[in-house]
A = this chain, B = another copy of it.
């Protein structure tokens, strides 16, 4: 299961990804892609035809294989564990099915249900995730970082309360308004569970930890500051002592970025809805940025795609502290050749710059 990349990244002994997280000098702008392990790859679809989604996330050999698939094709600077943000919730005593998105047969809506949630003990509740992390880390060269991740508490609350994916997640947002105390208790329980979960992933070999706040954009700035941000901060503060870079990706959060800037994070993921220049202006020099090419751009003609990539690099501005990524997960019908073009173009374009920073 080792993965000599088809086309190795330019020399990056210490790992360009981890250096960029810390805003240190890098040999090239590192690049990885949200959902890089997934349906756009024929080899993933082949495995998926034999195993259902839950099995792929729960069998360490399979999860590791899926995690490594894109690394064999592309000179990516980081791997991200193949899993689902709802996976650890099962370790809290809430059964989750995937059809194809997460479905919770009994949504968590009452104080009694929240109080009945079990604290997460990752080694007991989700040992297979930690085993997957160990397998992947052992298979990766030292120049490729392994990212562990979880859902941020508010985003997990959205699914737990609503019971499935939704455009509005109305039941979750109603809970915040009608019964804010129960909502805060649920967020605290989820924050404690996710802190334990990410810490266990780090102990197992994850070298950076990422929180996905997929549904940040459902909240007004006031409610984000009152509910989602403090819960994310509770996770992040527990993790800071580990010394592992912390990444927070709040989707659809252009008007929340002032609040994001005050989180104890190393890197902010930025979606495609705002320029990295404006994000940098709000986040300040302390926080690196990750992003933010529109996933739709991978469907443009190659010459146009290169222009779009160059534009993202230009908007990222200062060479330090930029990790190239899409602004959202890659779409299932993307051509893998477009991904190859993207990865190689980012490396070539940024390695050719002179100066000590790249």
State whether B297 touches A177 (Cβ < 8 A): yes
Select which of B219, B255, B274 is within 8 A of A221 by beta carbon. B274
B220 contacts A299, CB within 8 Å? Answer: no
| Chain A contact residues, majority secondary structure | helix
Question: Taking the complex as formed, is A337 at the interface, i.e. its CB lies under 8 A from any CB of chain B?
Answer: no
Copies of this subunit: 2
Cα distance A255–B219 when bound, in Å?
A: 16
Cβ–Cβ contact B296 & A273, under 8 A: no
Name the interface residues of A132-170: CB closer than 8 Å to any CB of B: 167-168, 170
Enumerate the 7 nearest inter-chain pairs by beta-carbon distance, A residue then B residue, closest first: A255-B274, A173-B296, A254-B255, A177-B300, A254-B254, A174-B299, A177-B299
Residues of B within 8 A of A297 (CB): 177
Interface flags, A199-236, vs B, CB<8A=1, else 0: 00000000000000000010111110000000000000
If A217-B252, A252-B252, A255-B254 touch, whether A168 touches B300 (CB-CB below 8 Å) is: no
**Contact call B275/A221, Cβ cutoff below 8 A:** yes
Question: Number of residues in A with C-beta < 8 Å to the partner?
Answer: 33
Output the least CB separation between A102 and chain B (Å): 15
Partner of A168, one of B170, B304, B311, B331: B331
Given contacts A273-B220, A273-B221, A178 and B300 within 8 Å (CB-CB): yes
Q: Does A272 contact B (CB under 8 A)?
A: yes
Look across to chain B and name the residue whose beta carbon is closest to the beta carbon of A304. Answer: B177
Tell yes or no: A2 within 8 A of B by CB: no
Q: Are A223 and B294 in contact (CB under 8 A)?
A: yes
Say yes or no for A176: interface residue by CB 8 A criterion: yes
A278 at the interface (CB under 8 A from B): yes
Contacts of A275 in B (CB 8 A): 221, 255
| Least Cβ–Cβ distance between A302 and chain B, in angstroms | 12
A222→B178 CA distance, assembly (Å): 39
CB contacts under 8 Å to B, within A247-286, are 252, 254-255, 272-275, 278
Residues of B within 8 A of A252 (CB): 217, 252, 273
